[in-house]
Amino acid sequence: MTNITKPWIFTASCPSKLGTVDVVTRYMAEAGNYVDEIHSFDDRVSKRFFIRIEFQPMKDDFTAARFDAEFAPRAAEFGMEWDLTEPEHRPRVAILVSKYDHCLNDLLYRYRTGQLNIEVPVIISNHPDLEHLAEWHGIPYYHLPITPETKPYQEAEIVKLLEQYDIELVVLARYMQVLSPWMCNELNGKAINIHHSLLPGFKGARPYHQAWEKGVKMVGATAHYVNNDLDEGPIITQGIQTVDHAFYPEDLISKGQDVERVTLFNAIRYHIEKRVFLSGGRTVVFSS
Protein backbone atom coordinates (compact mmCIF):
# COMPACT_ATOMS: atom_id res chain seq x y z
CA MET A 1 0.00 0.00 0.00
CA THR A 2 1.34 3.46 -0.90
CA ASN A 3 0.28 6.30 1.37
CA ILE A 4 2.24 9.48 2.08
CA THR A 5 0.06 10.73 4.93
CA LYS A 6 1.49 10.62 8.43
CA PRO A 7 0.37 7.60 10.46
CA TRP A 8 -1.43 7.33 13.74
CA ILE A 9 0.73 5.76 16.45
CA PHE A 10 -0.62 3.14 18.84
CA THR A 11 1.47 2.04 21.83
CA ALA A 12 0.56 -0.36 24.62
CA SER A 13 1.94 -2.49 27.41
CA CYS A 14 0.52 -5.15 29.69
CA PRO A 15 1.52 -8.20 31.72
CA SER A 16 2.90 -11.02 29.59
CA LYS A 17 0.06 -13.25 28.44
CA LEU A 18 -0.76 -15.45 25.49
CA GLY A 19 -2.67 -13.56 22.79
CA THR A 20 -1.29 -10.06 23.34
CA VAL A 21 -0.27 -9.55 19.70
CA ASP A 22 -3.47 -11.09 18.43
CA VAL A 23 -5.80 -8.87 20.46
CA VAL A 24 -4.24 -5.75 18.95
CA THR A 25 -3.73 -6.84 15.36
CA ARG A 26 -7.16 -8.50 15.17
CA TYR A 27 -8.83 -5.28 16.29
CA MET A 28 -6.80 -3.26 13.77
CA ALA A 29 -7.96 -5.47 10.93
CA GLU A 30 -11.60 -5.57 12.04
CA ALA A 31 -11.67 -1.78 12.51
CA GLY A 32 -10.24 -1.21 9.04
CA ASN A 33 -6.88 0.17 10.14
CA TYR A 34 -4.01 -0.61 7.77
CA VAL A 35 -0.80 -1.43 9.68
CA ASP A 36 2.28 0.24 8.19
CA GLU A 37 4.79 -0.74 10.88
CA ILE A 38 4.68 -2.97 13.94
CA HIS A 39 7.16 -3.74 16.71
CA SER A 40 6.61 -5.87 19.79
CA PHE A 41 8.72 -7.23 22.61
CA ASP A 42 8.05 -9.43 25.60
CA ASP A 43 10.43 -8.68 28.49
CA ARG A 44 10.99 -11.92 30.35
CA VAL A 45 12.63 -10.02 33.25
CA SER A 46 9.79 -7.61 34.02
CA LYS A 47 7.23 -10.04 32.55
CA ARG A 48 5.63 -7.27 30.54
CA PHE A 49 4.67 -7.07 26.88
CA PHE A 50 5.23 -3.93 24.76
CA ILE A 51 3.88 -3.09 21.30
CA ARG A 52 4.03 -0.12 18.92
CA ILE A 53 2.04 0.18 15.71
CA GLU A 54 1.91 2.84 12.99
CA PHE A 55 -1.37 2.63 11.09
CA GLN A 56 -3.62 4.38 8.57
CA PRO A 57 -7.39 4.42 9.17
CA MET A 58 -9.17 3.21 6.03
CA LYS A 59 -12.66 4.20 7.15
CA ASP A 60 -13.87 7.79 6.92
CA ASP A 61 -15.67 7.65 10.27
CA PHE A 62 -12.48 6.88 12.27
CA THR A 63 -12.02 8.90 15.47
CA ALA A 64 -9.76 8.48 18.48
CA ALA A 65 -12.80 8.37 20.76
CA ARG A 66 -14.35 5.55 18.75
CA PHE A 67 -11.05 3.63 18.75
CA ASP A 68 -10.79 3.91 22.54
CA ALA A 69 -14.39 2.89 23.11
CA GLU A 70 -14.19 -0.16 20.86
CA PHE A 71 -10.75 -1.33 21.95
CA ALA A 72 -11.24 -0.83 25.70
CA PRO A 73 -13.18 -4.09 26.36
CA ARG A 74 -10.55 -6.14 24.54
CA ALA A 75 -7.69 -4.40 26.32
CA ALA A 76 -9.33 -4.95 29.70
CA GLU A 77 -8.98 -8.71 29.33
CA PHE A 78 -5.19 -8.27 29.29
CA GLY A 79 -4.83 -5.40 31.75
CA MET A 80 -3.47 -3.44 28.81
CA GLU A 81 -2.62 0.26 29.03
CA TRP A 82 -2.50 2.05 25.68
CA ASP A 83 -2.00 5.43 24.06
CA LEU A 84 -3.04 6.82 20.70
CA THR A 85 -1.10 9.67 19.07
CA GLU A 86 -2.58 11.78 16.28
CA PRO A 87 -0.52 12.22 13.09
CA GLU A 88 -0.21 15.99 13.38
CA HIS A 89 0.70 16.12 17.06
CA ARG A 90 3.87 18.20 17.62
CA PRO A 91 5.12 17.89 21.22
CA ARG A 92 6.04 21.17 22.89
CA VAL A 93 9.71 20.99 23.88
CA ALA A 94 11.70 23.30 26.16
CA ILE A 95 15.47 23.35 25.68
CA LEU A 96 17.75 24.06 28.64
CA VAL A 97 21.34 25.12 27.89
CA SER A 98 24.37 26.69 29.49
CA LYS A 99 27.30 27.88 27.32
CA TYR A 100 28.01 24.99 24.93
CA ASP A 101 26.10 25.62 21.71
CA HIS A 102 26.69 22.47 19.61
CA CYS A 103 23.59 20.57 20.73
CA LEU A 104 21.35 23.64 20.70
CA ASN A 105 22.50 24.59 17.19
CA ASP A 106 21.82 21.09 15.92
CA LEU A 107 18.37 20.82 17.50
CA LEU A 108 17.27 24.22 16.22
CA TYR A 109 18.42 23.33 12.71
CA ARG A 110 16.53 20.03 12.79
CA TYR A 111 13.49 21.81 14.23
CA ARG A 112 13.63 24.50 11.54
CA THR A 113 14.00 21.99 8.69
CA GLY A 114 11.32 19.63 9.97
CA GLN A 115 13.62 16.74 10.87
CA LEU A 116 12.21 16.96 14.39
CA ASN A 117 8.43 17.11 14.47
CA ILE A 118 8.26 19.36 17.53
CA GLU A 119 7.48 22.89 18.68
CA VAL A 120 10.13 24.80 20.61
CA PRO A 121 8.29 27.63 22.38
CA VAL A 122 11.02 28.46 24.91
CA ILE A 123 14.76 28.20 25.63
CA ILE A 124 16.03 28.55 29.19
CA SER A 125 19.63 29.10 30.31
CA ASN A 126 21.70 29.95 33.35
CA HIS A 127 23.91 32.11 31.08
CA PRO A 128 23.14 34.85 28.53
CA ASP A 129 25.65 33.57 25.92
CA LEU A 130 23.28 31.78 23.55
CA GLU A 131 20.45 34.30 23.47
CA HIS A 132 21.38 35.33 19.91
CA LEU A 133 20.55 31.82 18.64
CA ALA A 134 17.10 31.97 20.21
CA GLU A 135 16.49 35.47 18.82
CA TRP A 136 17.47 34.36 15.30
CA HIS A 137 14.87 31.60 15.49
CA GLY A 138 12.26 33.86 17.08
CA ILE A 139 12.11 31.82 20.29
CA PRO A 140 11.76 33.44 23.74
CA TYR A 141 14.98 33.07 25.77
CA TYR A 142 15.00 33.26 29.54
CA HIS A 143 18.28 33.91 31.36
CA LEU A 144 17.96 32.58 34.90
CA PRO A 145 21.31 32.87 36.72
CA ILE A 146 22.00 30.37 39.47
CA THR A 147 24.10 30.24 42.61
CA PRO A 148 24.02 27.68 45.43
CA GLU A 149 21.91 30.13 47.42
CA THR A 150 19.43 30.88 44.62
CA LYS A 151 19.14 27.33 43.24
CA PRO A 152 15.69 26.57 44.77
CA TYR A 153 14.27 29.85 43.45
CA GLN A 154 15.85 29.38 40.00
CA GLU A 155 14.49 25.85 39.62
CA ALA A 156 11.04 26.99 40.76
CA GLU A 157 11.14 29.67 38.06
CA ILE A 158 12.02 27.05 35.45
CA VAL A 159 9.06 24.92 36.48
CA LYS A 160 6.78 27.97 36.23
CA LEU A 161 7.99 28.58 32.68
CA LEU A 162 7.40 24.92 31.77
CA GLU A 163 3.83 25.26 33.00
CA GLN A 164 3.37 28.64 31.30
CA TYR A 165 4.43 27.25 27.92
CA ASP A 166 2.58 23.94 28.37
CA ILE A 167 5.77 21.93 27.91
CA GLU A 168 5.57 18.18 27.28
CA LEU A 169 9.30 17.40 27.09
CA VAL A 170 12.41 19.07 28.51
CA VAL A 171 15.76 18.62 26.77
CA LEU A 172 18.97 19.31 28.70
CA ALA A 173 21.18 20.24 25.75
CA ARG A 174 24.39 20.45 27.77
CA TYR A 175 22.75 22.26 30.65
CA MET A 176 25.69 22.17 33.02
CA GLN A 177 23.86 22.10 36.33
CA VAL A 178 23.11 19.27 38.74
CA LEU A 179 19.37 19.24 39.27
CA SER A 180 18.04 19.04 42.81
CA PRO A 181 16.05 15.97 43.92
CA TRP A 182 12.93 18.17 43.87
CA MET A 183 13.60 19.22 40.27
CA CYS A 184 14.33 15.62 39.22
CA ASN A 185 10.98 14.56 40.63
CA GLU A 186 9.24 17.40 38.79
CA LEU A 187 10.81 16.30 35.50
CA ASN A 188 10.57 12.55 36.07
CA GLY A 189 9.85 10.77 32.78
CA LYS A 190 9.65 13.97 30.73
CA ALA A 191 13.26 15.20 30.55
CA ILE A 192 16.16 13.93 28.44
CA ASN A 193 19.82 14.61 29.23
CA ILE A 194 22.96 14.15 27.13
CA HIS A 195 26.50 13.65 28.39
CA HIS A 196 29.78 12.31 27.08
CA SER A 197 30.49 8.62 27.56
CA LEU A 198 33.76 9.16 29.42
CA LEU A 199 31.86 8.86 32.70
CA PRO A 200 32.47 7.50 35.25
CA GLY A 201 36.17 7.07 34.42
CA PHE A 202 36.90 10.73 33.70
CA LYS A 203 34.88 13.00 35.95
CA GLY A 204 34.96 16.71 36.60
CA ALA A 205 36.71 19.35 34.55
CA ARG A 206 38.50 18.66 31.25
CA PRO A 207 37.38 15.01 30.83
CA TYR A 208 38.64 14.83 27.25
CA HIS A 209 42.09 15.97 28.35
CA GLN A 210 42.07 13.27 31.02
CA ALA A 211 41.00 10.73 28.40
CA TRP A 212 43.74 11.83 26.00
CA GLU A 213 46.37 11.39 28.70
CA LYS A 214 45.20 7.81 29.19
CA GLY A 215 45.16 7.11 25.45
CA VAL A 216 41.46 6.32 25.03
CA LYS A 217 40.48 4.74 21.73
CA MET A 218 36.75 5.54 21.78
CA VAL A 219 34.61 8.58 22.54
CA GLY A 220 30.87 8.67 22.66
CA ALA A 221 27.69 9.97 24.25
CA THR A 222 24.74 8.75 26.27
CA ALA A 223 21.20 10.15 26.19
CA HIS A 224 18.96 9.17 29.08
CA TYR A 225 15.90 10.16 31.05
CA VAL A 226 16.53 12.38 34.05
CA ASN A 227 16.09 10.89 37.48
CA ASN A 228 17.57 11.43 40.93
CA ASP A 229 20.68 9.32 40.15
CA LEU A 230 23.16 11.74 38.60
CA ASP A 231 23.77 10.80 34.93
CA GLU A 232 22.38 7.32 35.60
CA GLY A 233 18.78 7.57 34.42
CA PRO A 234 17.25 4.99 32.04
CA ILE A 235 19.29 5.06 28.83
CA ILE A 236 17.47 5.82 25.57
CA THR A 237 20.36 5.65 23.12
CA GLN A 238 24.15 5.83 22.91
CA GLY A 239 26.68 6.71 20.24
CA ILE A 240 30.34 5.85 19.81
CA GLN A 241 33.25 6.80 17.56
CA THR A 242 36.71 5.25 17.42
CA VAL A 243 39.77 7.50 17.74
CA ASP A 244 43.51 6.91 17.72
CA HIS A 245 46.88 8.40 18.67
CA ALA A 246 46.49 11.20 16.10
CA PHE A 247 43.59 12.74 18.03
CA TYR A 248 44.73 15.48 20.40
CA PRO A 249 42.42 16.76 23.17
CA GLU A 250 40.79 19.36 20.91
CA ASP A 251 40.13 16.63 18.32
CA LEU A 252 38.56 14.39 20.94
CA ILE A 253 36.31 17.25 22.03
CA SER A 254 35.22 17.94 18.45
CA LYS A 255 34.53 14.28 17.73
CA GLY A 256 32.72 13.84 21.05
CA GLN A 257 30.49 16.81 20.33
CA ASP A 258 29.61 15.34 16.93
CA VAL A 259 28.46 12.15 18.63
CA GLU A 260 26.53 14.10 21.27
CA ARG A 261 24.54 15.97 18.61
CA VAL A 262 23.41 12.83 16.78
CA THR A 263 22.78 10.84 19.95
CA LEU A 264 20.60 13.56 21.47
CA PHE A 265 18.65 13.98 18.22
CA ASN A 266 17.93 10.24 18.08
CA ALA A 267 16.84 10.14 21.71
CA ILE A 268 14.39 13.00 21.21
CA ARG A 269 13.08 11.45 17.99
CA TYR A 270 12.53 8.07 19.64
CA HIS A 271 10.70 9.74 22.51
CA ILE A 272 8.36 11.89 20.43
CA GLU A 273 7.64 9.00 18.06
CA LYS A 274 6.63 6.90 21.08
CA ARG A 275 9.38 4.34 20.50
CA VAL A 276 10.55 4.26 24.14
CA PHE A 277 9.00 2.25 26.97
CA LEU A 278 10.18 1.98 30.55
CA SER A 279 10.51 -1.57 31.81
CA GLY A 280 11.58 -1.58 35.41
CA GLY A 281 14.70 0.59 35.54
CA ARG A 282 15.55 -0.13 31.89
CA THR A 283 14.18 0.97 28.55
CA VAL A 284 12.67 -0.87 25.62
CA VAL A 285 13.45 1.14 22.47
CA PHE A 286 11.93 0.31 19.09
CA SER A 287 14.43 2.26 17.00
CA SER A 288 13.63 2.79 13.34
Give catalytic residue positions: 231
- Give the separation between CA 266 and CA 263, rounded to whole angstroms: 5
Q: What is the DSSP string of 198-237?
A: TTTTS-SS-HHHHHHHHT-SEEEEEEEE--SSTT-SPEEE
- Give the separation between CA 228 and CA 243, rounded to whole angstroms: 32
- Give the separation between CA 235 and CA 222, rounded to whole angstroms: 7
In this structure, how many other beta carbons lie within 10 angstroms of the beta carbon of residue 156? 12
Strand 169-172's sheet: what is its strand order?
A: 141-143, 119-125, 92-97, 169-172, 191-196, 218-225, 235-242
Which of 166, 231, 164 lies closest to 197, judged by CA?
A: 231
- Give the separation between CA 287 and CA 273, rounded to whole angstroms: 10
List C-alpha distances in Å: 153 to 176, 182, 188. Answer: 17, 12, 19
What distance separates the 2 farthest-apart alpha carbons in the chain? Answer: 65
